Amino acid sequence: MSGIGDVGLAVKAKFQDRSAKIGVIGLGYVGLPLLQAFVKAGFSTIGYDVDPAKVARLMASESYIKHVPSQWIADWLAERRFTATSDMARLAEADALLICVPTPLSESRDPDLTYVEATARQIAASLRPGQLVVLESTTYPRTTRDVVLPLLAESGLRPGVDFFVAYSPEREDPGNPDFSASRIPKVVGGLDPVSLELANTLYAAAVVQTVPVSSCEVAEACKILENTYRAVNIAMVNELKVLFTRLGIDVWEVIEAAKTKPFGFQAFYPGPGLGGHCIPIDPFYLSWLARRYEMSTRFIELAGEINHSMPHYVIDRLVTALNDVGKPVRGSRVAVLGVAYKRDIDDPRESPSFKLMELLVERGAIVSYNDPHIPVLPSMRHYSVPRLASEELTADYLAAQDCVLIATDHSTYDWPFITRHARLVVDTRNATKDVAALPGKICKA
């Protein structure tokens, strides 16, 4: 491309021959799989994280995320293609810096860009000519241009000439072996045509397909659309679940019937609420942005209200189920099965299980839990729940509970065993659909 300049040409050549060093900032659920994609593609990498304990574990070939095998880390180190550090002065060592830090919501449900801003300042302190900076953290349109770029520009270097800036939204499906980071198409938007060309060249060397778009804003909006689409459709089936329950209709059977239609329908499933870092959070970035432009996003707000209400609905169903067997919720022993936000992963971020436990404790229940992937209940800043350890799922433990609440349907759970020994089961995931049980023993919620 004409206008790429000598600096850009040199960077592009290093991406093409894989001599570039790739830096990933934030070594969590997004950062580690991303590192695997670049190491597999033949790049040398460096991981940055402010938590020295994470760095120490990685340098000892130890993973702290279930779906990132420790063998990956051991292979990276053995091949001399990876090192990790908490020393942000070493940011200058990387030719590309990919930002994968958290973007949570504040208490007032506004975007909290504290981690993004801090990272951009750290990069600016050591930014050198020839570096590409890519934001991958999910955020609202114009974050890259209006928040990250001004901080990087404090370095005194010229964007699009001395250094380059792009946005490429993370796309992760934790626990799904069919969609590793290298096998998911990557949307890429650049601050300018040269930045786009360089970012597209970089990702094309490591992923199955790149999807270049005209700007950072389009790439940012793409990620918000993907997750808002899911949030709105999940809200719809959650609302229908409440309605169909009153009508005596099994919403799960309805969905199974509807998805036989080969066109015009995609199945979404109800649950006890939304979990994970993306779907419960990202739509509110768009709502916040709309308010700044004096608009309302009624679909998004309504979907948020419905999904936010689902833990309350589940607890109401649980209270009714206990009442039906002559038990008040106060003083009842309730076991929550699963605190990860979805099956077969160890990620508890925004899991509805925490809200369920909080509501049960408020009502005086004696709460315990089991999750084969989360041995100790982590503290969560938005929820007040006891510090508990996962109980062993024995026949005696199940029989001692007044109610077993299925919040996450891990594939390792033996549903016939659980329903055989539990006195009462409240199932939010249709996990017991194929289990024969006594009438009144299983309540769908």
Residues labelled as active-site residues: 278
d(CA 374, CA 173): 18
Coil, strand or helix at 33: helix
CB 426 within 8 A of CB 406: yes
d(CA 68, CA 170): 16
d(CA 314, CA 162): 55
Q: Are strands 442-444 and 333-337 parallel, antiparallel or unpaired?
A: unpaired
- Mapping DSSP onto H, E and C, the string for 374-427 reads CCECCCCCCCCCCCCECCCCCHHHHHCCCEEEECCCCCCCCHHHHHHHCCCEEE
Order of strands, edge to edge, in the sheet holding 44-48?
Answer: 82-85, 44-48, 21-25, 96-99, 132-135, 164-167, 186-190, 210-213
The closest alpha carbon to 189, from 157, 223, 158, belongs to 223
Q: In degrees rounded to 5, what are phi and psi of residue 45?
A: -135, 160
Q: What value, to the nearest 5°, has the Cα angle with vertex 357 and ends 303 and 276?
A: 45
